[in-house]
Amino acid sequence: MLKEHSIMVTGGTGSFGRKFIETVLTLYPEINRLVVFSRDELKQFEMAQVFPPEIYPQIRYFIGDVRDKERLARALQDIDIVIHAAALKQVPAAEYNPFECIKTNILGAQNVIETCLNGGVRKVVALSTDKAAGPVNLYGATKLCSDKLFVAANNIKGKRNIKFSVVRYGNVMGSRGSVIPLFLQQRHGGFLSITDKRMTRFNITLEHGVRVVLQTLEKMWGGEIYVPKIPSYLITDLAEAVAPDCQLRSIGMRPGEKLHEEMITVSDAINTVELQDEYVILPSMRLWDVDEFIEVNKAVRCQENFEYNSNDNPERLTVDELRVLIREHVDPGFTI
């Protein structure tokens, strides 16, 4: 699918971007061009040590910010596919610096849309988050707005051959700022800090997240939000998996934090269909024949009261399963 194409990844030096680029270089070594677009020169330098242009001549490293429309337009020259992963995503930082979050996550998203429309891009997949479903914090609200922008962009494409779709999933295992690296660090001190013992979270590996995006590029119609079916865990089970001998210290829920994560709300159910490995929130406006989409994809409409959250999720990871995943995807040397 990606042979002889050119791809740009915004936020390309982040956890997802690095894994996506590694995967694409492995699966599609004949790819024409792979542009890493991000604003952190140090991370680009470090990434270039792993993927040097001398060995990977397909790679280009572009310093730039999605807030800068002119720079985006320059980087997008002759690009076929865009993966939009750039975002300000730290919840406390967004609460304290709200408009900075808005400028990157909302205005930056619109900049990506407009430059893609003007630049001849064919496909755009934007990464979303569980926090965009029924948002209770500013980060989630900005990502919900971003999702709406990318879905609605299909209304203004005119005769351009371009599609915009969204992929939404929960916590990425071992990503920067996530709870597992924190627990692995804290266990040496004899205690783990948890916000609430009832808390549950979705869990997805970087590899799975990349695979979902690649699959979306193949089958997207434009305007859908793809939500993969992934397991959940109880925060106390994760604590048991990482450090069974440590004490748990409750610190209370942080501002803007949910007890359980949601990816599809009851309000979304009317437009949601179920496939074998994922749910798809269809666009509320008529962009194409919904019945045809359902027939082609062998999808089933969800019930009106359907919701997809980490607490009611039937797929729950056990302590032993969590330990295996930690060794495979976070710390190969992890032992109890």
Q: Which residues are catalytic?
A: 131
Are the CB atoms for 31 and 7 separated by under 8 Å? Answer: yes
DSSP 189: G
Between the alpha carbon of residue 293 and those of residues 119, 163, 205, 214, 273, the distances in Å are: 28, 15, 28, 19, 10
CA dihedral 304, 307, 308, 313 (to 10 degrees): -100
Cα 58 to Cα 6, 14, 40, 42, 275: the distances in Å are: 9, 19, 20, 20, 35
Taking alpha carbons only, the member of 307, 301, 305, 296 closest to residue 260 is 307
Structure-derived torsion over alpha carbons of residues 61, 127, 314, 318, reported in degrees to the nearest 10: 30
Candidates 196, 195, 213; CA nearest to 204 is 213
- How far from the centroid of its chain's Cα atoms is residue 276's Cα? 20
CB 181 within 8 A of CB 140: no
Neighbours of 270 (CB within 10 A): 14
Tokens of 198: 């009832």
Q: Residues 336, 229, 329, CA angle at the centre, nearest 5°?
A: 30
96: Cβ contacts below 8 Å, ≥ 6 apart: none
303 to 168, 202, 299: CA distances (angstroms)? 20, 22, 13
Question: Residue 308 half-sphere exposure, CB side, CA atoms within 13 Å?
Answer: 30
Contact 308, 260 (CB under 8 A): no
